[in-house]
Amino acid sequence: MPYLRKIITDGDPTLRKVAKKVDPAELDDPLFQQLIDDMFLTMYDAPGIGLAAPQVDVSKRVFTIDLQDDDPAHGPAVVINPKFVDTRGEIEATEGCLSVRGFVGEITRYEFVAVNGLDRNGTKIRLEGDGLFARCLQHEIDHLNGVLYIDKAKNVRPAQIEEEVGTAEEAQAEARADANRESVESGASG
């Protein structure tokens, strides 16, 4: 049975390490499959739309993602040893992180990305998209490289209004420019 893992926060050295590549042989290890199940459970419980293994104190190159209600086209996925294969454009948006609780900031990221990696069975997969999905992929891959969004963001501040508190959840980081703030308030995420 999956169990909740503790999400570590900024200041913990594991978040600052470059995570180790996963040996595909490791995918046969029940403990590794358990890690993936635990990460999904922990991500949904948070709640968040993305979670990287270093955030549960495991320095390995794997993350989970599920945009859930924000974008039904991008449901649950786990990506092992992810690698960018295409990046296009730039866009600024507000972002938060489960490991930097209660804060938000503005960060510029690629507008579109394509990422290759392995799924939990070792099959090659490619995830690509723009908007919130692209933003979340970049946020999680940063975690695997020991990078937190606060390293790159400007105007990092305590989340105050309701919209920002929602954004402060992991990469609930609406991929919308600041200028579009008003529409966020009437919009989805929590």
Catalytic positions are 140
Smallest distance from the beta carbon of 25 to Ni ion, in angstroms?
A: 28
User: Least distance from C-beta 99 to Ni ion, angstroms?
Assistant: 5
| Cα pseudo-dihedral 107, 52, 2, 174, rounded to 10 | 20
Considering beta carbons, is residue 97 or 113 the nearer one to Ni ion? 97
What's the CA gap between 89 and 69, in Å, rounded?
A: 25
CB distance 142 to 171 below 8 Å: no
Q: Which lies closer to Ni ion via its Cβ, residue 22 or residue 97? A: 97
Return the number of the residue (164 or 170) whose C-beta is nearest Ni ion: 170
Which tokens in the block code for residue 14? 């594991």
Where would I find the H helices in the chain? Answer: 30-45, 131-144, 162-167, 181-185
Closer to Ni ion by Cβ: residue 118 or 138 = 138
Q: What is the DSSP letter of 156?
A: E
Cα separation values, 19 from 67, 114, 172, 182, Å: 24, 20, 23, 38
Report the nearest approach of Ni ion to the CB of residue 139 (Å): 5
Q: What is the smallest separation between the CB atom of 48 and Ni ion, expressed in angstroms?
A: 8
Residues binding Ni ion (CB under 5 A):
97, 170
